[in-house]
Amino acid sequence: MSITAHQVVTLHYVLSDVLNDGSKQVLDDSQARNKPLEYLHGHDNIVPGLESALAGQTVGAELSVQLMPADAYGVRNEDLVQEVSRGSFGNAELDPGSRFQTEGEAGPQIVTVLEVDGDRVTVDTNHPLAGRTLNYKVTILDVREATRAELAKGHPLPPGTEHSKVEDRKVL
């Protein structure tokens, strides 16, 4: 079965990027974690360039995909680096590199602390991988039709979840 919209795809991947010296840095490895990725194809559950590269592939396929920033987590936007009050973080320990998840205009977003100077904190709300060229090595493990409940929610669900027990989130 070829990967098309409304199918649940299970795969293993290794995500890496290239450092300035030309060496590769592994950022994530689903096989090392023994936890394959399962996603609903055609529902914006993974980065656009990877979803596009997986379309039409079949179980057992192995592929290497290089994604430019625009096809992955986006191009860095320096306007998303801003100064905020220390009070915005409550009693949280703040150090450069600390990350927090907050609710943004388009849903959850990751905030990275760049600098702490007294009561002022410089933060970056770009995705941590924005602006980076990413390399994926992918092995497709399974492809199946999504259930009615999965289509209603817009992502894979545990086996046996009935569509009558979930609230519709997406319109097909």
pLDDT in tens, 123-158: 999 999 999 999 999 999 999 999 988 998 899 998
Q: Is the pLDDT of residue 20 over 90?
A: no
Using CA atoms, how far apart are residues 165 and 143, in angstroms rounded to an integer?
A: 24
162 secondary structure, DSSP code: -
Q: What is the largest CA-CA distance in the chain?
A: 58
Domain that holds residue 95: 78-124
CATH number reported for the structural domain that contains residue 38 in this entry: 3.10.50.40
What mean pLDDT value characterizes the chain?
91
User: 56 and 15 share a domain?
Assistant: yes
Mean local confidence (pLDDT), 32-61: 97
Query: Do 23 and 69 belong together in one domain?
Result: yes
Give the three-state DSSP class for 34: coil
In a shared domain, residues 8 and 47:
yes
Give the pLDDT of residue 19.
79
Torsion of CA 7, 13, 15, 18, to 10 degrees: -120
Please indicate, yes or no, whether residues 134 and 59 belong to a single structural domain of this protein.
yes
Q: Is the pTM for the entire model greater than 0.95? A: no
